[in-house]
Chains A and B, each alone.
Chain A
Amino acid sequence: GEDVEQSLFLSVREGDSSVINCTYTDSSSTYLYWYKQEPGAGLQLLTYIFSNMDMKQDQRLTVLLNKKDKHLSLRIADTQTGDSAIYFCAETRSGGYNKLIFGAGTRLAVHP
């Protein structure tokens, strides 16, 4: 199975909050990330959280980290149609070079 797991699809109404969840496996990860990918494009870093933090807020984005359960979530407040995209969580995996390991991605669909 996937080392980093995410639900595959989320549909929300415009103006509501979106919550995307992720579980990871490497307890030694230094940072955990959320990336956004629009169709046919590369990845855009949305935010990251240091592993010794519980929460980080950046404008409409709130990241919550539960280290005990290895659970990461991304909340998008006041979701807009422009937020429709695929959202990937990622963890750093140690071993020589800190490489990013991605979840399968959550497709967020925002409808009016």
Chain B
Amino acid sequence: GAVVSQHPSWVICKSGTSVKIECRSLDFQATTMFWYRQFPKQSLMLMATSNEGSKATYEQGVEKDKFLINHASLTLSTLTVTSAHPEDSSFYICSASTGTEGGGYTFGSGTRLTVV
């Protein structure tokens, strides 16, 4: 079946630095990928929709300059958390759609970001 690979699985960084998270569709092309953020014991909050070859569409309240999204190819989207602060610590999950029946939404395994 469709596989979405997300790296790294976890990362610890210092305040003020930037962190890049990669999301790859391994055996299918994804023109659209989605980035979610999940706080402990809470639901997934959609941050943005990543579109290959164009600008990402951000949800209300999500800072575009803070969370940079690049969808450079049909198999890769990246989320960069710029000038990270402890409040950015969270679990970030990406998803891609295969476009098959049911939407074919496949999720990465998530990245746990800790900013110290």
One of A31, A98, A99, A104 near B43 (C-beta < 8 A): A104
CB-CB under 8 A from B109, the residues of chain A are: 41-42
Q: How far is the CA of A105 from the CA of B42 in the complex (A)?
A: 7
Q: Does B61 contact A (CB under 8 A)?
A: no
A98:B103 contact, CB within 8 angstroms? yes
B107:A99 contact, CB within 8 angstroms? no
| B67 CB, min distance to chain A CBs, angstroms | 16
Q: How far is the CA of A2 from the CA of B43 in the complex (A)?
A: 10
Q: Does A100 contact B (CB under 8 A)?
A: yes
One of A99, A101, A102 near B49 (C-beta < 8 A): A99
CB-CB under 8 A from A100, the residues of chain B are: 34, 46, 95, 103, 105
Q: Does A10 contact B (CB under 8 A)?
A: no
Interface size, chain A (Cβ < 8 Å): 25
Q: Which of A62-89 contact B (CB under 8 A)?
A: 88
Q: How far is the CA of A41 from the CA of B6 in the complex (A)?
A: 11
B105:A45 contact, CB within 8 angstroms? yes
**Residue of chain B at shortest CB distance from A93:** B46
Q: How far is the CA of A14 from the CA of B74 in the complex (A)?
A: 44
Q: Which of B94-116 contact A (CB under 8 A)?
A: 95, 97, 102-103, 105-110, 112
| A46 CB, min distance to chain B CBs, angstroms | 12
Q: Which of B42-62 contact A (CB under 8 A)?
A: 42-44, 46, 49, 51, 57
Q: Does B93 contact A (CB under 8 A)?
A: yes
Q: How far is the CA of A35 from the CA of B103 in the complex (A)?
A: 13
CB-CB under 8 A from A92, the residues of chain B are: 103
A33:B43 contact, CB within 8 angstroms? no
- A residues touching B (Cβ–Cβ < 8 Å)? 2, 30-31, 33, 35, 40-45, 48, 50, 88, 92, 96-105
Instruction: List 6 tightest A-B contacts by C-beta distance, closest first.
Output: A43-B107, A42-B109, A42-B107, A48-B102, A104-B43, A102-B44
Could you list 17 examples of A-B contacts with CB < 8 Å?
Answer: A31-B102, A33-B103, A33-B105, A40-B110, A42-B109, A43-B107, A44-B107, A88-B44, A96-B57, A97-B57, A99-B34, A100-B95, A100-B103, A101-B46, A102-B43, A104-B42, A105-B42
